[in-house]
Structure 1
Amino acid sequence: MDSNSIFPLHKILFNFNIFENESLEMLRLSKDKYKPEIDTERFEEVLLKCIDRGLLILGESPRKAIYYHLEKRERVKREEIPEKLDEFVEGLRAIFGSGSFLIEKSIVQELFKELEIPPPREESNDLVESLNYVVNVLARKSRGKG
């Protein structure tokens, strides 16, 4: 991982707190209208849902097998993925090698679709880079600049 990678998810969201809004159900402005708030619990739910959907490109049985191997090899249970994101990504890369980027791309696409966020001009298949982008977009939206 490069020095720009920030793990786990709560560290990515450290400067933010995402809450509720009509469209994304997780954004709102705090009392200080310039400080975005992120409901990390809601964001983690959305992230897990998108990971589930992204892994389905391989099918239901392979998805279950991936979760099984991640739990046994990397000691990462499905529900712990947001807190152990680095281990999750490393586990995918250990299992699939360079092919893991196709899975990461699938997860990223699900995340953009779920949150109704346009992909960046220069798309990345890296899950962590994409999560940083998503958090920044959500922060801009919550400040009224998105």
Structure 2
Amino acid sequence: MDLKKAVLECVDRGLSSLGENAKYVIYWHMRSSYKMTREEVFNKPEKFIEVLTKMFGSAGASLLERAIMREIKKTFDNVTAESFPEAVKELKARYKG
């Protein structure tokens, strides 16, 4: 399994909860305003959540993070983490071999 690809697909589906076009606008704004690419989300999950918070405020970022976590928990069995950064850490530890 390509863990990074699977996690990024979960992020895509979570962001798509606002609509497909919104997902692309979010990634474009992340890149242009915060110098963060989609591919960096996997290795910098804390920064990703910070960027979402700057873009949408705490409430909006929380909604998006919950949507992403729903996708993570649908895709991966027995994820106990409640936040996206914790989930990435948990999955990296689980699939490090």
TM-score of the superposition, structure 1-length normalised?
0.57
Choose between structure 1 and 2: higher strand proportion.
Answer: 1
Q: Which has the larger radius of gyration?
A: 1
Deviating above 4 A after TM superposition, structure 1's stretches of 4 or more consecutive aligned residues are none
Q: Is 1:53 matched up with 2:13?
A: yes
Amino acid of the structure 1 residue aligned with 2:84: L
Q: Is 1:85 matched up with 2:42?
A: no
Report how far residue 135 of structure 1 moved.
4.2
**Structure 2: 5+ residue stretches without partners:** none
Report how far residue 86 of structure 1 moved.
2.7
Amino acid of the structure 1 residue aligned with 2:5: E
Query: Mapping of 1:135-146 within 5 angstroms?
Result: 135=92, 138=94
| Aligned residue number for residue 110 of structure 1 | 71
Q: CA RMSD in A?
A: 2.0
Question: Structure 1 residues 63, 128: closer, same or farther in 2, change over 3 A?
Answer: same
| Aligned residue number for residue 57 of structure 2 | 97
Pick from 73, 87, 91 the counterpart of residue 130 of structure 1: 87
Count of residue pairs the alignment pairs up: 95
Structure showing greater relative contact order (alpha-carbon pairs closer than 8 Å, 6 or more residues apart): 2
| Aligned residue number for residue 32 of structure 1 | none
Asked whether the equivalents of residues 54 and 107 of structure 1 are also in contact (C-alpha less than 8 Å), the reply is: yes
**Structure 1: 5+ residue stretches without partners:** 1-25, 27-41
User: What whole-Å deviation, never above 9, does each CA across 1:16-48 have from its counterpart, x for those lacking one?
Assistant: xxxxxxxxxx3xxxxxxxxxxxxxxx1111111
Q: Is 1:67 matched up with 2:27?
A: yes
The DSSP-based 3-state class of the residue aligned with 1:118 is: coil
TM-score of the superposition, structure 2-length normalised?
0.82
Choose between structure 1 and 2: higher helix proportion.
Answer: 2
Amino acid of the structure 1 residue aligned with 2:15: L
Give the distance between the partners of 1:46 and 1:135, measured in 2 at CA.
Answer: 12
